[in-house]
Homo-oligomer: A and B are copies of this chain.
Amino acid sequence: MASEHTAKAFDSDLQDLTRLVSEMGGLAERLIVDSVDALVRRDVALGQKVVAADAEVDKLQRIIEERAVLTIARRQPMAVDLREIVGAMRVATDLERIGDLAKNIGKRVAALESDFHPLKLIRGLEHMTDLVQSQVKSVLDAYAAHDLPAAMAVWKGDEEVDAICTSLFRELLTYMMEDPRNISFCIHLMFCAKNIERMGDHATNIAETVFYMIEGQAMVDKRPKGDMTSFATTVPGN
């Protein structure tokens, strides 16, 4: 920082950025909840609302990127200050992806015409969504508070999300094999479940960004990821 004036101006820029990220995070959380709500209640209008609201998330990402870049150019921050700005940009990228995934779920609501509506599956999906939403909330809090242990707890918690998703996939597969009329409905649910699982992945990305901001380096540890692609080998008859 060149002077006290610059330092103050930088702090004010950074506060603006953090506020925007927090606003974007709130919106993304809302979209997670609304998209699955729309899916569970077959609420086409709510699904369309999610699709429309995703544009707001995209816009916020562009604003954050723009502000971040201008702050870097104007204030020439170094080391930890620079990492704060890069961190804001990275978190915004992950939140934008979460918005996209919610939008994809929102779009699928209109395509679900089947009368088939197995309660156990729906509950599983809701449970996974609650978990992911709370992961996103926790990691955004950890980001705002620079709380590394809290971020690492989110990072480790993603295994549970993956496990629920794998068990949902197995169940969906069983329904599909039982009755071909369930197939296209179940495929939509599979893509939705996969989207929710991916939202969880973005929460762990944000946790890694918090690590980077605080520790000044990338995390070396690989996340112990439940490997979804193996589900096929466990299905009888395959």
Contact = CB atoms under 8 A, between A and B. Distances in A.
Contacts of A229: 104, 107-108, 110-111, 188
Interface in A65-93: 65, 69, 72-74, 76-78, 82, 85-86, 93
Contacts of A112: 232
Nearest to A72: B72
A74 B233 CA distance: 53
A128 B122 CA distance: 34
A82 B69 contact: yes
A119 interface: no
Nearest to A107: B229
A111 B180 contact: no
A235 interface: yes
Given A77-B73, A113-B232, A229-B107, A187 B190 contact: yes
Contacts of A113: 232-233, 238
Interface in A100-122: 104, 107-108, 110-114
A85 B93 CA distance: 17
Scoring A69, A77, A113 by chain B CB atoms within 10 A of each residue's CB, the highest score goes to A69
A227 interface: yes
The 9 A-B pairs with the shortest beta carbon distances in the complex, nearest first, are: A184-B232, A177-B180, A107-B229, A72-B72, A111-B232, A111-B229, A108-B229, A73-B76, A184-B238
24 contacts: A69-B72, A69-B82, A69-B86, A72-B72, A73-B76, A73-B78, A73-B82, A104-B229, A107-B227, A111-B229, A111-B230, A111-B231, A113-B233, A114-B238, A173-B183, A176-B176, A181-B238, A184-B231, A185-B238, A187-B187, A187-B190, A187-B232, A188-B229, A188-B232
Interface of A: 62, 65, 69, 72-74, 76-78, 82, 85-86, 93, 104, 107-108, 110-114, 173, 176-177, 180-181, 183-185, 187-188, 190-191, 194, 218, 227, 229-233, 235, 237-238
Given A176-B176, A183-B183, 7 more contacts: A74-B76, A108-B229, A111-B231, A112-B232, A184-B232, A187-B190, A188-B232
